[in-house]
Structures are given as structure tokens and as C-alpha cells.
Structure 1
Amino acid sequence: MRIPVSWLIQQLELSGEHRDLDAEQIAAAFTRVGLEVEEVSPLGPVTGPVVVGRVVSIEELTEFKKPIRFCVVEVGETDDGAPETTEVVCGARNFVEGDLVVVALPGAVLPGDFAIASRKTYGRVSNGMICSASELGLGDDHSGIMVLPSGENSDVEPGDDAIELLELTDTVIELALTPDRGYCFSVRGLARELACALDQRLLDPAAIDVPAAEGPSTPVTVTDEQACPRFVLRRVTGVDPTAPTPFWVRRRLMLAGIRSISLAVDVTNYVMLELGQPMHAFDTAKLSGGLTVRRATAGEKLTTLDGATRALDPDDIVIADDSGPVSLAGVMGGASTEVTPESTDILLEAAVWDPASIARAVRRHKLPSEAAKRFERVVDPALAPAALERAARLLRDYGDGTIHPGRTDVGHPALPAPVVMAMDLPDRVAGVRYDRGVTASRLQQIGCTVEVGAADDGTPTVTAYPPSWRADLNQPADLVEEVLRLQGYDTIPAVLPKAPSGRGLTAAQRRRRQVSRTLAEHGFVEVLPFPFVSPTAWDALGLDADDPRRRTVKVLNPLEADRDELATTLLPGLLDTVVRNVSRGAREVSLFHVGQVVLPRAQQSPMPSVGVAGRPSGPEVAALDAALPAQPTHVAVVLAGPRVRAGWWGKAEQADWADAVQAARLVAEAAGVELTVTQGDTAPWHPGRCAQLRVGDFPVGHAGELHPKVVEAFGLPKRTCAMELDLDLLPLVERRPVPKVSPYPPVLLDVALVVEDSVPVGELTRALRSGGGDLLEELSLFDVFTGAQVGEGKRSLAYSLRFRAADRTLTVEEATAARDAAVAAAAERHGAALRG
């Protein structure tokens, strides 16, 4: 919300050191009480001669492509009392002869360091500039120049200092208000917060005498009291439709970011900003019969003030007359009863609407408004009569209207319930011992009526009766927050708690960190994909209809409507991230993510309803746990494009299924377990390039190249590879490894074995390792050969074996015997034979 400092200060009775309060001090005071100040914007700067001028004559210059006017403007008096005039070239057309305007004379400097000087333009000499509001820094309206009010009610004369008149030395403060501070969307609310922060007296603009109603002004029927707890009407007749809006009202509206329209509309907007009560003005002559406040019926339509015809929803609240809906309640009025320049009989309406219904209507019709912004955040239910009286008096004073004696006031909204709190609760929460009486005085400052008493055990208590504008004060914690923020959060000491000894990360946490660190060290980049998925993702992954990964949990309030399911696998989010990176020019993508997935059971227990009045019981906690789906931690990687870049060292190496398997081995190594890799076949991997990952005999995941149809469905680069395994299925290994370095030399031997093509390399490697025994320190495959020399349907696998003993120098005979044992094991299990 934007508000000028001069308007705020006018609502305070400043004393002592605060008499000369400036904008920076006000911003600091707002910050102390928990309001976020977004910007402090001084107007201007405007220097030099900027005066009020009266347009004496206008000459239209028609020889140019666009309309240009040559104006003679009276800007004061000469020494002998004669009118002093100057000549100005201007392109604006929203003023006529006799209007009062703002003229920047030569020597003036406007915002943006824009210096004014005499210059020849369009064949004439222009001695200054007639200014718009935006050129003076008063707002964003640059559609025309600023025309000041004139006539009998105006005390402005040509030659008056416009800088002083327009208060161009003022400052505008813009605040970002949270939804629970709805009462702060007004000068009244902000001034109250400022008064509390500075311990000054508030001059409440709503504290006006509201006369008793002499009967209703217009008959009203409210059919849904929950939708409209209060509805108030006040009528003003005989309003002069040509009466201008007072300049001080227009100025404040401009600085608040609201465009001036007409006296009646400006008055309703002004009172909304001043008091926080949105209002609407009807042209009484255009209403047919009495008014009814109700929900819309199916098929009804309403043309709103913006000219759009809207199909109403049965959830919409409308104000209707005998002809049908005339206003979308709390959001925008209807065009059929709009106040026009010919309107003289004005019916002012102020109401209290159900916040949730207004919020839904705004989103349904995509029609945000200043009124709806306030109704969504709860409006003071006691404010409507005072707000209408304030608006009616403004129309009477500046529009020569007559206030109709009647006032319609339907409904009795509920006021906030009293809240009982232990007197020392703020002290205990803050860890500070406040002075005696602080709690009661601070609650009284925000408008609460306070009663001090005692609980049954003798503990001092305070009972706070919240004011009508603080519907957010519902429990002791709310009162504690008010006391603490008004005392100042900066007065609460910041003391770091001492870390208890003997604690630290759990084994699972250490393993997760080690896995992430290992993958990052090997060139993978960690990402945090969107945690929700679209139901179409399962089709894109090629999952069977009965695949358990299709069994998901729906999100009731998704952030994105088309992604309303919790992920049962990390791959959809990772693949979307790959697509996004590739679309932005990345060519080598190696990503990983460690996160939870949600795996509901086939027969998931329903979630029980547990109250919040106290701590759940043991059985309730057990029921909650039973209703939660399994949420294991998975780790997944995706590789696309070259795994090794091209350079002086050689050509690029395309990432393939073996790199995905190697990523799984890195994870297993970081977790301290041995991974077994066997051939697999599961979606979304390519059936011939998919590896099943096992720990012992238990499958923990898969790795390999994605199926071409999956690559096409997601729009991935060709031959994209991926790996995913369940980290929680890996056994936790408490490892505090001490390096064991043997001082004895190794014995290196090679062996080439001929086996059938169908024998997996991994199986043959495990056979050699088991046969080699404890002396076999390392085993690696360094060559694969096929051809006529080894026979059709067979291949030769060459291994390098390193043998070493930890306690002695190993002899060649011992190493040879161990090698022969390894070969024998391979021959027994897989029919391997030494290559001749």
C-alpha cells in the first residue's frame, strides 16, 4: 500500500522528540512493529519557479501532424498590479480557457533533472511548460496536464507557489502488508501502528458522531447472512454532478496510486483509503425497487464497470434489484447503475462480506480490485456506518448534496471473542522479564479492552476483548505476538543454544551427504526438481497399467493444477530439468537428485482426524503413522550428451548405459556396500540396455539407457541414460575406515578366458574374484575380443589380476596357484577355458 507521509502525520498528535518526524523515522518505526517497508520515495525534487497559472487564451496550431496549442497563461502580477502572462506551447487537450494549471517557468528543474528553459518549437517560442501529474512526480498519469480546481470554493490564484500548494516536498511510503494485517490497508490502521510504535496519541478519523438512523433509506433483503453479515446504505440527494473533486482529495488519491474519476467515485475511494471500508456508489435513479443481497443463480450475467459481461457462478455474492444483479459484491459494481456525470441522487453502500467468497470470486473472474483486496483480509464490521457518514458529509460539503435522513443497516456481525492469557506468557516466550503492566498497556494500545484476573490456581491472567478491527486475535499466542512486536523484536536477546555433546548426524544422514558429495565430485550437478508430477507422466514413462508406480497420492491444493500427484519416482522431475537445460543451450547434462518419493500401499489406511486442542495420544499418533504412505529416500541421475568433452585430448565420448551403471557403483561405494549388476528389463529403460542393481540378492534399483519412446515423449536428447535406486534399501554400514597399506610388493598376472557370448561379464568377474581368495587384491577387465580365433558364439575376456599378501612377500608360485584357483572357479561355473 502507498501512502503519503503528510496524510499519516495528520492522524497523530505528535509531541516531544517526535514533533519533527521524517519519512526515514516513520519507515524505521513501521519496521520495528513488524511491517515491511518496500520503498520510501520522496517526491520531486522540484526546484525553481513552478507556479499556478490561468489559461487566458488558446490558439490551435493546425499545420502540424499532431494537434499543438499555443497558450497564453497568466502566471501572477507585475509590480504595478497588472496580470503577468507568458506564452507556452502544449500538446495536451484536456484543458480549456479559464482553467488553473501548473506552469514550470524557465529556470525550474523537474524530477529526472529535467531543466526548463525558453525554446523555439513548432515555430513559436515556449517560455515554460504546462505540467502533468507524472512530470511533477505526483503519479503515473501522463494522459493530460493537471487541472486545478477553480471557482467559488477555490482559494488558488495565478502566481501561487505550486511547490507549496502541491506539497512537492512530501514523501510516499510503500508497504508490503501480510494477509493477517488487513486493518493496515488504510491510513487509520497504519496511523494506529505508528502511534503504537512511537507511543503517541492517535487521532482516529473514524471517531465521528454518527446520528441515529431515522428509518431505512432503501429497503434491503439479505438472504445469506453468512455471505453478508452486515449491509448499510446512506443516500445523498441533490449532488451537483459538475462539482469538482477537492484538490487535496485528488492529490492523496494520486499519491496512493488511484486515478481521480468524479466527485462521487473519488469520495468512496478516499474514504476506503482513509478508514479501510470499501464502498460503492449507485445512481439511485437507475435502481428498480428494493435491493436484495443473495448468491447468484445459474445462468445470470452481469456487465461490470469495466464493460465486460460476466457469467455469474452460484458461489458469487451479488446485489440485485428487481431487474437482476447490479453489482458483483465486494469486487466491482455493475455498469447499469454506474454513477455518471449526470447523476445527482447517490446511494452509498458499505457492507461486510465473507472473505473466502470474495477471494474465490476475484480468482474466478480474474478481477482484482482495491475493494476486494480489503474484503479478502476482513474488514472492520463496526466501521460501515461511520464510513458512510464520512462519505455523505464529503458529498454534502463539496457537491452541495443533501444527506437523506434515513439509513439502512441490516445484520449484526459477530465481534471477536475474548481471549484469556497468563500475564507472564509474553515474558516466558521472549525469555525477557518485561516491566509490570507492559502486557496490559500494549494490548490496550492496539484497541483491546483488558481485564486483569487470576486463574483457579492463583496465576495472574489478562482477559483481552479484541477490537472489532482485529479479527486475527483468537488465541493467547496472538496476544503474545502483539506484546512482543510492540515492545520491539530487537529487544529480545539473541542467545545461541549450546549444542549437547555426543550428538551429531545419524548414520543415514551421513550416508546421504557422502552420496551427494561423491556424485558431485565426479561431475554430476545436484538439482531440486518440482516435487509434484502430472498423471500424464506415467504414460510418458511407458509404465504398465498395473505398475505400482502409478499408485499415487493426490494433492488437494496443488501449486499447478496439471501437476497434482506426489512422485513415486524421481525420474519425471529430473527429465523435465534435463529438457529445460537443453532448451537453454546446455549440451552436456549430468544431473542428480537425492530426495523422497511417496509409495502408497495397495490398501492405504484413511487419514484420521485429530484435534489441535492438545497433544495427540499414543493411539492417535500410531493411527497417523499407519495412514502415512511409505516415503523412502531415492537417488537418481540422468546423463545426456557427451560425458567427456572434445578437446586436444581427443573426441567427445557420448554418455551411455555404462556411465549410468558407474554412477550406481559410485553410490554403492559411498554407502560402503557392494553392488551386483545383472541384466534387467523394466520401464522406462531400454529392454536391451537396462541393468538391475542388487545388494546381495535383493534388487535396489535400475540403470541404463532410456527407451526411445520415453526419450521422444519427454523431448530428451537421443540415448539419454538414467539411474535410480532406493537409498534406504542399502544396509547402513558404520565405516570409520583405517587405511591398510601392505609394505610388500604385488604380483601382477594376466589371464584370457574364452566363454560363451551369453555369459555376463559381471558373473564371470564374480567367479574369478571368489576363486582368487584373499590374495586377489584387484581384478579388472582390459580387453574383449571376438572372431574366428575364439570360435563362433564365443568371446575372449582378458583380465589383469593383482595379488598381494599383507604379512609377507608373495612368491610367484603362490600367486600362480591363486590365479589357477580363480580360473578353475570360472571354468566350473561358466565353462570358461584359457585362451591358447
Structure 2
Amino acid sequence: MQFPESWLREFCNPPLSTQQLADTLTMAGLEVEELTPVAPPFTKVVVAEIKEAVQHPNADRLRICQVDIGSAGQGTLLNIVCGAPNARAGIKIPCALVGAELPPADDGDGKPFQIKLGKLRGVESQGMLCSARELKLSQDHGGLLELPADAPLGQDIREYLKLDDMLFTLKLTPNLAHCLSVYGVAREVAALTGAPLKTPVIAAVVPKIQDVQPVKVSAPDLCGRFSGRIVRNVNTKAATPQWMVDRLARCGQRSVTALVDISNYVMFEYGRPSHIFDLDKIHGAMDVRWGRPGEQLKLLNGNTVTVDGEVGVIADDQALESLAGIMGGDATAVSDDTKNVYVEAAFWWPKAIAGRSRRYNFATDAGHRFERGVDPELTVAHIERITQLIVEICGTPETVCGPIDDQQPRMPVAQPVRLRVARAAKVIGMPLTQAQCVDALKRLGLSLVEGEGVITVTPPLYRFDLQLEEDLIEEVARLIGYEHLPHTPPQAPVTPQQRPEAQRSPHAVRRLLAVLGYQETINYSFVEERWERELAGNSQPIKLLNPIASQMSVMRSSLLGSLLQVLKFNLDRKAPRVRVFELGRVFMRDASVQDSHVSVAGFDQPMRLAGLAAGPVDGLQWSGATRPVDFYDVKGEVEALLAPRQAVFEPAEHPALHPGRSARVLLKSARGLEPIGFVGELHPRWKQAYELSMTPVLFELALDAVQARDVPALRPMSKFQAVERDLAIIVAQDVTHAALMRAIQAAPTAGLLRDAVLFDIYRAKPGQMSAGLADNEKSLAVRLTFSDTEATLTDEQVDTAVQAVLASLQQQLSARLRA
């Protein structure tokens, strides 16, 4: 929230400097995110009037102006050459005198711009007439900054426009909705500093007609209070006063029309959004209700939205007129032709407004305030304030007002909250007396009843955040000032947890992947529901109740979708080669999970590691032809990632992967081989669906399995020569390399077998018997390495071990020795 300091000090003016005031607010939880001057420094710029403007004899776009600067010119007119298109006699403008220093130009060297006596095309110029952009008051460079006709000649422009002011930008947390107005912040400042709070008295406007707009509140769970008033014969073409335009601009709001500006001004002043309808465009009675599926409404921003039963609306007898608490409709918007208006101020229940505007991909100041809570008690007072300004700015001799129609179908009821002084002292971490707590709460204007060590507080209706004992404890801490809380060191011993030697750190895993050429990405845990269905096979993902965007509506159970999105982003920007990985958490339903300090009942949240490779295996280089990355390249990188543990890969299917080019990754554990993830090429269907120009290869592994590693153990080196034997065996075509190695390792070789390597595969040509091979058979050549640490192996020992391997192969794979 942004506002000028001068406006705040009109309500509460503590004896503090600007910086001290900002520090006080920040230390009370109202963080002052930015503190900026209204205008940059400049000097010797005064209010002036152009008395005469004639064409420059030597330039088509220049005029020679005779400028009156009042008493500062001692009755002498200044001769100033000006090229602004609106330079004309009779207007008042800012004039920089000779010797003035103006803000540096945007494309300059950063030094102030000095005004000197000079000549332009042969004509002497004794100053400079300024635009708003040249004074850095706005970006408007369409001409000179025209001032009101009553601006006093010769007055310093900084004093006249009140430019010696500061803009406060507060970063408010959602529980501080009562501070979303200048008056609300002033109320906090009064509580924090003890300075008096000036609450303006809003005089009631006497109704002169009895006209009332019929209104029915059909949804009390949507609208707890609805107030309105008819005002007839207003002048909507009236200009907004400059003081109001300036204050709105300093709150970050541009001026639109007088009626819209009045509504916005009261919102910034007191925190209540309101709406002004064109009365003559309302058809019959108004109904405040929930929307009906299929109903449509064209909004003030030009968008047409379709509502449903969870969105509140204001309707008349023919159509929808407004999106409740968010934005008005175009059909009843005020215009230059409007003569009669209906002013509305309501209390909308926060839960009925929260998240509704995000459904339609926009946000409004009204929705921002109503979904956090707006004071339900002051709708009538604020209508009186709006009426007062309408009559003052847009009033005519014929302007008349009707009575205020105030309906209260369901007002909120304040619930008492108990504060235990001992509990507050324990949570805040400092000694507290009951008197200190009472003083803090009374300064906030809270009604309370004291007991023995207990204070019962009945919060005002505008404090929607005071519902628990912890809320009151926070208020006490805020009023004391966070900077005054003691610095207490931890009482319990802090013992660092040492990582087991058999476990890698996540950072070590990241470093290893970086060495392999991968770059880390960080993505949202909220993903598109389509990804879960297509890439994870998850038809019932965990849905978010209030997603931040329509394409981020569910929690991910796989990291693959996020990596494909990164790939798509890079390919769209012509990246030739992509290697990315992510280390993150996934979310799945699991009824066996119980509540704990690190888990939520019913939901499993394991950590996963996923990677993606696309494009050439190596970057552009001269030593050989490039080729695209394939399954075996990424399989090798997964093996390097898991080393020294040896993974087993077996064919398997995965919703995201190519059915013939993917595998399940398994690791040996105490319970046998356990699956830890998948590796494979992206399914062609998804490559086409996501419009990818190259086929990526992906892997996804359980992080705890990747972190696990075997602790190095001492093994003696053999002093004796190893013995190698080559075996050629015939097996069925469907025998895999993993099955072959399992059978060899299972052979009882008395610990002599050190290694086994497959070095040749031979298949017969279709329809031909070759070397005793049938069509459904193949020949595998394996080199076996034997050694002993105690003695040189004998032929008998080696032959016995080879026969044991052959027996194991025959028993498990029905293999036979090739002739």
C-alpha cells in the first residue's frame, strides 16, 4: 500500500521525523518497503503566467513567450523561447528561472540540469517553461504542465504543489487488513506513539427526496450488510479537484472521472471499496445473490466473465450488474451522460470473496480488501462521506439526495478471546506484567475485561485477525516493539546432526550431476492436472483448494512434467542442447502415513531426483560426427550417479516413456532387488503432443537410494596372476544381460570368480542354422576372471569353478556350451 506522509499526518502527527516514523511502523509489523520523495530536488521554479505567445521568426515549432513571474520579476516580463505545443497566452505554468537546477535528464550524465541565459535561433531566452516530465513529476511530455487559474504568481512550485513530501510503501501481511487505508495506518501510529488520532466528523447529508432503490439480499452468507442511496441531478462532467488528483496519484491511482475518483479516494482514505451505479441503467429491483451457472457479465475492464454458484453477483430484473466485492459491470457504469446515481457500500464476507478474482485472471483493489475483511459497521458513514464529496464536486443547484437504505441480514458477531499473561510471557520470551498487556491492548482500542492473570478481549468488528490467543500475543509484542524484545540465546544444547558415512549429501548429488554436464532447475510443486494424468498415470492427483493459477491446480507426483516444461522453454529459444535436472519433493496419497513433525497423515512426500537430456551427446566439435543422445548414454550416466553400487536395469513400461526404450532401475538391498526409478526415452505420443523438436531421454530416481553408498572396505590385493577363461554359450533370444550376470554370480566358485564381462553376441540369419543356432537362440561370449589372494590357482581349481558357472547357467537359463 502506498500513500503520502502528509495525508497520514493529517490524521495523526507524532513528533517523529520521517525516518523515525518509518522505523516505528516497520518494528510494529507494518514493514515500510520503500520510502521515496514525491519529487526529486530542484530549485528556483515558480508559478508563472504566459501573457503573450508569438511565432518565432526563425523556427516553425518555437514560440516567443512573455512570461509574468509576479513579484519575483519586479513587474518585468521575462522573454522565454518555448517549443511546447500548448504554450499560449493566459495559462499558468511552472517557470525555471536563470540559475535554476532541474532534475537530470533520463539520458544524461546524472548531473542536475542548470538553466542559463542563452539564445535560441537568435532570440534571447531568460528561463525555461517546464513540463511535468522535466520536473520528474510524471512521464507526461505532451506539453507544459498547466496549473489552476488561481495559482499565485511567483510562489515556489514545490510549496504550491506540496512536493516536499514522502511516499510510504507498506508491505502488509494478510492479517493487517485494517491498515489498508490511510486512516487505518494512522490509527496504528496513534497506538504506537501515543499521539492523538484525529477522527473527522462526517456530517450527515439531509435527504430532500424519499426515493429508495429496491434491494433484496438473497444470500446472507455472501453479503452481511448492504447500504445504498440515490443521488439525483449530478454533474458527471465536473473536473476532479487538483488536490484529489494529486493524492490519488501519490497512492498509485490515476484520475479517471470525478465520480470514480471520489469512490477511489474514500477507499484509500477509510479502506472501504464502494461502487457508484448509473441509476437510470438499473432495471427494476436489485438482488444480491450467488451467481447461476452460465450467467455472463461484461465488466468495467472490458472482460466478459461467466459466473457459477460460487461467485457472488448483484443483479437486477434483467441481467447481472456487478461482480460482488470485486468489480462493477459495464452496463451500469457512470458516464458523461449520467444524471442520477446510486451509491452502494456493503460488507461482503471475506470467504465469499477470497480467490474469486483469480478465477478470471485479474485482481482489484476492492477484492484485495474485501477478501481480508472490511469494517462492517461504517457502511452508512462512508456513504455519507461519498455523498458529501459528490455534492461538493459534482453538485448542481438541482442535486438532491435520498435517504440511506441500510439492510443488515447477517452482521458478524465479535467472539471474545482470552489472553493468559503467563502464556504471553512464555511465547514472547520476556517477563510481562498484566498491566503491560492491558496497556498495549487498550492503546489499540480493544474492549477488555481483566481477571486473575487472564484478560478477555472483545475485538472490534474491523479486526478480523483477532481470533486466537496467539493473535493477542502478537499484538502485545507489536506494541512493545520487536526491537525491544530481549536477545535470549537457546537454552537447550545445539548438537549438529552428523550425516552417516554411508549417505551422500544432496549437495554431493548435485555436484556429481553438474560434473556430468547437467544444470539444476527449480520448479513449482504445483503443476497442470494434464501432466499428472498423461506423464504420471495419476488420475486422482492432490488438488489445491485455491490455486494461484489455473495451470497450477494440483500437486505433482512426478518431476518429469516440470523438466519437459523447461525443455520446451529452451527449445522455443533455439537451445541446441539441453541437460537439466531437478531435486525436489513429490506428493502422493498414502493412507499408511501418520501425522508427525515432518509428515501429514494420508500423504507421502518423498524426495526425488530427475534428469533430462536432449540434443547431441557432445557439443559442437571437430573430431567426429555428432549424434543425438540415446537411452544408453543416459543409462550410463545413471550408472555413474549410483556408482559404486551397481544398478540392474530391466525392461518396463512407464506412462511417460517409450514402451520399447525404457527400463526400471533396481538396486540390491537386504530385501533383494528393489525398484528405485525409471530411465527411458520420451513416448512419441507426448513428444508430438508437447511439440518438441527433439526426443529427450529422462530418468527419475528416489533420492534416498541415490544418496546411499557403500562404505569403502579394505580388500587385499592379490599377489598372484589372475586366470581368464572365455565361454561361448547358447541361450534363448529373450535372455537378458542382467539374467546372464545373475546366473554367473550365483555359481558356487568358492570366491574365486572376480569378474565376468560379456564381449560378443552372435545370432543366426533368419531361416538358417548356423553353428548349431536355431532362430530363437543366440550365442553369448563371456570372459571370466579368476584369482586367489592366498596362492596361485591350479588348473583343477579353475576348471572346477568354470564347471560350476556352466552348471548355474544351465540350471537357470537352460544354456548349453557352444560347440
| TM-score in terms of structure 2 length | 0.80
1:751 maps onto 2:746 in alignment: no
Task: Sort the Cα spacing of 1:387 and 1:55 in 2 relative to 1 into closer, same or farther, 3 A.
Answer: farther
CA distance, structure 1, for counterparts of residue 686 and residue 334 of structure 2: 61
Deviations 1:556-608 (A, max 9, x none): 5445535645555444444444444454555554444555555658xx89x9x
Structure 2 residue aligned with 1:803, among 787, 802, 807?
787
Equivalenced residue count is: 790
Partner of 2:739: 763
Partner of 1:101: 93
Deviations 1:600-631 (A, max 9, x none): 58xx89x9xxxxxxxxxxxx979xx9982666
**Aligned partner letter, 2:437:** T
CA distance, structure 1, for counterparts of residue 350 and residue 493 of structure 2: 45
- Do 1:754 and 1:832's aligned partners in 2 also have CA atoms closer than 8 Å? no
Partner of 2:365: 370
1:820 maps onto 2:802 in alignment: yes
For residue 131 of structure 1, report the CA deviation from its aligned partner.
3.5
For residue 187 of structure 1, report the CA deviation from its aligned partner.
0.9
Task: Sort the Cα spacing of 1:124 and 1:310 in 2 relative to 1 into closer, same or farther, 3 A.
Answer: farther
**Aligned partner letter, 1:390:** R
Deviations 1:248-294 (A, max 9, x none): 33322222222334554443332322222233445667777776655
Structure 1 residue aligned with 2:39, among 17, 41, 44?
44
For residue 790 of structure 1, report the CA deviation from its aligned partner.
6.8
Partner of 1:14: 14
**Aligned partner letter, 2:724:** D
CA distance, structure 2, for counterparts of residue 744 and residue 477 of structure 1: 70
Partner of 2:273: 278
Task: Sort the Cα spacing of 1:69 and 1:764 in 2 relative to 1 into closer, same or farther, 3 A.
Answer: same
> How do 1:572-591 residues align onto structure 2 when only pairs under 5 Å count?
572-584=561-573, 586-591=575-580
Partner of 1:784: 760
Task: Sort the Cα spacing of 1:97 and 1:278 in 2 relative to 1 into closer, same or farther, 3 A.
Answer: farther
CA distance, structure 2, for counterparts of residue 241 and residue 827 of structure 1: 96
- Do 2:414 and 2:459's aligned partners in 1 also have CA atoms closer than 8 Å? yes
CA distance, structure 1, for counterparts of residue 703 and residue 301 of structure 2: 57
The unaligned stretches of length 5 or more in structure 2 are 105-111, 765-769
Partner of 1:34: 29
**Aligned partner letter, 1:3:** F
Deviations 1:634-668 (A, max 9, x none): 55444434455676887667644334444554566
For residue 477 of structure 1, report the CA deviation from its aligned partner.
1.4
1:195 maps onto 2:190 in alignment: yes
CA distance, structure 2, for counterparts of residue 346 and residue 706 of structure 1: 62
Partner of 1:613: none
1:2 maps onto 2:27 in alignment: no
**Aligned partner letter, 1:749:** V
**Aligned partner letter, 1:175:** L
> How do 1:585-604 residues align onto structure 2 when only pairs under 5 Å count?
586-593=575-582
**Aligned partner letter, 1:561:** S
Is the deviation greater in 502-511 or in 427-436? 502-511
CA distance, structure 1, for counterparts of residue 651 and residue 286 of structure 2: 76
1:427 maps onto 2:425 in alignment: yes
Deviations 1:462-515 (A, max 9, x none): 111222321221111111111112322332525346456696668998697876
Deviations 1:188-239 (A, max 9, x none): 1122233334x23242344556589899663442323443333334566776
1:160 maps onto 2:155 in alignment: yes
Task: Sort the Cα spacing of 1:718 and 1:409 in 2 relative to 1 into closer, same or farther, 3 A.
Answer: closer
The unaligned stretches of length 5 or more in structure 1 are 455-459, 608-619
Partner of 1:137: 136
Deviations 1:510-530 (A, max 9, x none): 697876676566555554555
For residue 39 of structure 1, report the CA deviation from its aligned partner.
1.9
> How do 1:429-448 residues align onto structure 2 when only pairs under 5 Å count?
429-448=427-446
Identical positions, percent:
31
Task: Sort the Cα spacing of 1:111 and 1:711 in 2 relative to 1 into closer, same or farther, 3 A.
Answer: same
Task: Sort the Cα spacing of 1:243 and 1:761 in 2 relative to 1 into closer, same or farther, 3 A.
Answer: closer
1:387 maps onto 2:382 in alignment: yes
CA distance, structure 2, for counterparts of residue 195 and residue 499 of structure 1: 42
Task: Sort the Cα spacing of 1:774 and 1:525 in 2 relative to 1 into closer, same or farther, 3 A.
Answer: farther
Task: Sort the Cα spacing of 1:421 and 1:323 in 2 relative to 1 into closer, same or farther, 3 A.
Answer: same
Task: Sort the Cα spacing of 1:644 and 1:247 in 2 relative to 1 into closer, same or farther, 3 A.
Answer: closer
Partner of 1:410: 407
**Aligned partner letter, 2:33:** E
Partner of 2:180: 185
- Do 1:32 and 1:486's aligned partners in 2 also have CA atoms closer than 8 Å? no
CA distance, structure 2, for counterparts of residue 390 and residue 159 of structure 1: 35
Partner of 2:749: 773
- Do 2:358 and 2:548's aligned partners in 1 also have CA atoms closer than 8 Å? no
**Aligned partner letter, 2:716:** S
Is the deviation greater in 330-339 or in 436-445? 330-339
CA distance, structure 2, for counterparts of residue 62 and residue 146 of structure 1: 25
SS of 1:451's equivalent?
A: strand
- Computed over aligned residues only, the root mean square deviation of the Cα atoms, in angstroms, reads 4.8
> How do 1:306-317 residues align onto structure 2 when only pairs under 5 Å count?
none
- Do 1:331 and 1:367's aligned partners in 2 also have CA atoms closer than 8 Å? no
**Aligned partner letter, 1:419:** V
Partner of 2:166: 171
Task: Sort the Cα spacing of 1:236 and 1:148 in 2 relative to 1 into closer, same or farther, 3 A.
Answer: farther
Task: Sort the Cα spacing of 1:87 and 1:237 in 2 relative to 1 into closer, same or farther, 3 A.
Answer: farther
- Do 2:525 and 2:585's aligned partners in 1 also have CA atoms closer than 8 Å? no
Task: Sort the Cα spacing of 1:333 and 1:787 in 2 relative to 1 into closer, same or farther, 3 A.
Answer: closer
For residue 69 of structure 1, report the CA deviation from its aligned partner.
6.3
CA distance, structure 2, for counterparts of residue 160 and residue 35 of structure 1: 37
Task: Sort the Cα spacing of 1:61 and 1:271 in 2 relative to 1 into closer, same or farther, 3 A.
Answer: farther
CA distance, structure 2, for counterparts of residue 14 and residue 196 of structure 1: 11
For residue 448 of structure 1, report the CA deviation from its aligned partner.
0.8
> How do 1:241-252 residues align onto structure 2 when only pairs under 5 Å count?
245-252=240-247
SS of 1:773's equivalent?
A: coil
CA distance, structure 2, for counterparts of residue 731 and residue 232 of structure 1: 64
> How do 1:535-614 residues align onto structure 2 when only pairs under 5 Å count?
536-537=530-531, 550=539, 552-562=541-551, 564-584=553-573, 586-593=575-582
- Do 1:71 and 1:90's aligned partners in 2 also have CA atoms closer than 8 Å? no
1:493 maps onto 2:487 in alignment: yes
Task: Sort the Cα spacing of 1:39 and 1:240 in 2 relative to 1 into closer, same or farther, 3 A.
Answer: same
Task: Sort the Cα spacing of 1:506 and 1:252 in 2 relative to 1 into closer, same or farther, 3 A.
Answer: same
Partner of 1:475: 468
CA distance, structure 2, for counterparts of residue 241 and residue 597 of structure 1: 57
- Do 2:72 and 2:154's aligned partners in 1 also have CA atoms closer than 8 Å? no
- Do 1:87 and 1:125's aligned partners in 2 also have CA atoms closer than 8 Å? yes
CA distance, structure 1, for counterparts of residue 532 and residue 307 of structure 2: 37
Structure 1 residue aligned with 2:68, among 62, 74, 93?
74
Structure 1 residue aligned with 2:48, among 48, 53, 63?
53
CA distance, structure 2, for counterparts of residue 239 and residue 657 of structure 1: 76
Partner of 1:616: none
| TM-score in terms of structure 1 length | 0.79
Task: Sort the Cα spacing of 1:628 and 1:798 in 2 relative to 1 into closer, same or farther, 3 A.
Answer: same
Is the deviation greater in 818-827 or in 37-46? 818-827
- Do 2:761 and 2:781's aligned partners in 1 also have CA atoms closer than 8 Å? yes
**Aligned partner letter, 2:100:** A
Task: Sort the Cα spacing of 1:72 and 1:335 in 2 relative to 1 into closer, same or farther, 3 A.
Answer: farther
- Do 2:297 and 2:320's aligned partners in 1 also have CA atoms closer than 8 Å? yes
CA distance, structure 1, for counterparts of residue 170 and residue 177 of structure 2: 12
Deviations 1:5-52 (A, max 9, x none): 22222322424xx2xx12x32322221111232321113334232111
SS of 1:188's equivalent?
A: helix
SS of 2:70's equivalent?
A: strand
Task: Sort the Cα spacing of 1:69 and 1:296 in 2 relative to 1 into closer, same or farther, 3 A.
Answer: farther
CA distance, structure 1, for counterparts of residue 30 and residue 549 of structure 2: 30
- Do 1:746 and 1:802's aligned partners in 2 also have CA atoms closer than 8 Å? no
CA distance, structure 1, for counterparts of residue 533 and residue 234 of structure 2: 67
**Aligned partner letter, 1:423:** V
Task: Sort the Cα spacing of 1:499 and 1:635 in 2 relative to 1 into closer, same or farther, 3 A.
Answer: farther
